[in-house]
Chains A and B, each alone.
Chain A
Amino acid sequence: MNILKKKTGVYYLINAVLVAALFLVLIIVINTGTLNGYYTDILTFALINIVLAVSLNLVTGILGQLVLGHAGFMLVGAYAAALFTKNSELSLTVAFPIGLVLSGLFAAICGVVIGLPALRLRGDYLAIITLGFGEIIRVIANNLKITNGAMGLRGIDSLSNRNNPGAMFTYAFFIAVVVIFLMFTFVRSRHGRAVISIREDEIAAESMGINTTYYKMFAFVLAAFIAGIAGGVYAHHVGVIDPAKFDFNRSVEILIMVVLGGMGSITGSVISASVLTILPELLRDFSQYRMLIYSVILICLMLFKPSGLLGRYEISVPGLLHALIKKIKNKKSGEV
């Protein structure tokens, strides 16, 4: 899609209106109790998973580097935010956003520390080093006093309460919207092009003046930052965290969302993260087969559509409208 077309402004407007409408509908059904607490929770989880999947997609789909420890960044963010709000004197409405910023920062620092050795080199070292990071960070959280070891942290306050059942949902929703928007604009900027060119051919990108180490680091650290924030929201949403919640399986779950939706497709990640969060909950009775179903779906996908649901394509409502209008116009001119 060419970003410089005149219609871009209209597209932005349509999308903004649609997002606002979606939010209004959801917040009304939540606040009126039409959607009960259980479903509101699932919706919030879906939004958190969207943020995680989109951020992982930046590294794995758009930069083209495999990450096997995304849950590790989530863990760092979850503990950072929870420890801050638990120990802070500030009221939660103030402490929570500050906690989220800390989540992102701590996760980003981890990203810098493990990214530097892996990303300075050409090749796929990131997969191994992030795999190690995911495991090590969990062992650390299991053994530190401040994280309360394997018991984890309890009684992390949620913003949602009886009077305001949609507070956490609102946070998750706007974080997801902002992350998705920024991801779209990033990919379609000079920096995004640089990142994609590295996926396409690292040697050629370097020879064209792209500082590959810088852009690899940037994408990876940004993804870590966003995953950290998702972790912070998650901690306050569930109220109880322990290291086992952020294990290798969690990392794989996020990765599956990205692969299933299509590596490099942000809308693909949004769809698959939503489906893979909501579907298992609706099929609660089968939840013990979740990993099994996941693997079967993945194998089928690899067999029949190896590039994922959407491949590298994006779908958008304005885009669909545009295609529809074009079709109708063509039909009309055909009739004449």
Chain B
Amino acid sequence: MHLLVIKDLSVIFGGLHALNDFHMFVDDREIVGLIGPNGAGKTTVFNLLTGVYAPSGGAIRFEGESLIDKKPFQINRIGIARTFQNIRIFKNMTVLDNIKVAMQQDMKYTVLAGMTRMPFFWSEEKKVDAKARKMLEIFDMEETAEHTAANLPYGLQRKLEILRALASNPKLLLLDEPAAGMNPTETRELMETIRKIRDDFKIAILLIEHDMSLVMNVCERLYVLDYGNLIALGTPEQIRANEKVITAYLGS
């Protein structure tokens, strides 16, 4: 059974068919790319997957369970975490607290136990604190733990957002243009880290990228969207040779 299956997914925004009968699947521990020109509907797929938008039709199944009509927080708890194209970190919180928000489910103490500082509160908070600091090591960000997130440079904010998503224990990680605004060296390093994250955390990753060449070497399979339509799917080699894709990207 596939980890994620999308069938005939469509959404219409006031007459605009942002997505038409889209279908895709993602398997365990796969890195899959979703590419396409500006406005193709890539982010819309993420928003539908995570329950931010409701589809006009179609089905989404994750480990066999339907995600339609589920709220974003429920979908996260089922095992899908995401980052956003326009960074949405918690700006006035520390780097560490940003990550701890996502680790909410790792703690069980009640409101009253927290307010009255029961021993249970301390032990759980300590455990989560250590775990959150450990996560920062992935991007060598230990030093920034107590910094206010808003003060991080842009690239680190993107990385923090990835860590935050990872901290919520997903089985599938959705990354929306994680390399946006990074230079070629940073981008190459990021792609390496993404592969490492997949191996270490044993999760599947669905990656949106604008730049085709970039996803080619990190993704095992690709889906190509154009004007809300799925125009091609396959391995990077197949996509590279696909006429429709070339036209979509270069114009006819």
Contacts and interface: CB of A to CB of B under 8 A. Distances in A.
Interface stretch (A44-52, A207-215, A238-246): A207-215
Contact of A193 (B50, B71, B73, B100): B100
B40 interface: no
B150 to A, nearest CB: 10
Contacts, number: 102
The interface centre, meaning the residue of A200, A201, A203, A312 with most chain B CB atoms within 10 A of its CB, is A200
A282 B73 CA distance: 51
Contact of B84 (A190, A204, A211): A204
A194 B164 CA distance: 13
Given A3-B125, A190-B107, A193-B100, A206 B71 contact: yes
Interface stretch (B9-17, B91-99, B151-159, B191-199): B91-99
Nearest to A193: B101
A185 interface: yes
A194 B168 CA distance: 13
Contacts of A57: none
A205 interface: yes
Interface string A1-43: 0111000000000000000000000000000000000000000
Contacts of B90: 196-197, 200-201, 204-205
B115 interface: yes
A248 interface: no
A4 to B, nearest CB: 5
Interface residues of A, number: 28
Contact of B101 (A4, A185, A210, A218): A210
Contacts of B115: 182, 185-186, 189
Contact of A185 (B102, B105, B117): B117
| Chain B binding surface SS class | helix
A254 B126 CA distance: 37
Interface residues of B, number: 41
Interface in B50-88: 50, 52, 71-73, 76-77, 81-82, 84, 88
A191 interface: yes
A185 B118 CA distance: 11
A171 to B, nearest CB: 20
Contact of B126 (A4, A200, A312): A4
The interface centre, meaning the residue of A193, A205, A209, A210 with most chain B CB atoms within 10 A of its CB, is A209
Given A182-B115, A185-B116, A189-B121, A207 B72 contact: yes
A267 to B, nearest CB: 17
A243 to B, nearest CB: 33
Contacts of A193: 93, 97, 100-101, 104
Contacts of B82: 207
B224 interface: no
Contacts of A191: 111, 114
B111 A209 contact: no
B164 A208 contact: yes
Nearest to A196: B93
B142 interface: no
Contacts of B52: 203, 207
A46 B93 CA distance: 31
B27 interface: no
Contacts of B165: 208
Nearest to A311: B92
Contacts of A192: 114
A209 B77 contact: yes
Contacts of B104: 190, 193-194, 208-210
Contacts of B211: none
A222 to B, nearest CB: 9
Nearest to B101: A197
Contacts of B77: 209
Given A206-B73, A208-B101, A209-B168, A200 B114 contact: no
16 contacts: A2-B146, A4-B122, A189-B111, A190-B100, A190-B128, A193-B93, A193-B104, A194-B104, A196-B90, A207-B50, A207-B81, A208-B73, A208-B76, A208-B165, A210-B101, A211-B73
Interface of B: 50, 52, 71-73, 76-77, 81-82, 84, 88-93, 96-97, 100-102, 104-105, 107, 109, 111, 114-117, 121-122, 124-126, 128-129, 146, 164-165, 168
Given A200-B92, A209-B73, 11 more contacts: A186-B115, A190-B124, A193-B100, A196-B90, A196-B97, A203-B84, A204-B84, A207-B72, A208-B81, A209-B76, A209-B104
Interface of A: 2-4, 182, 185-186, 189-194, 196-197, 200-201, 203-212, 218, 312
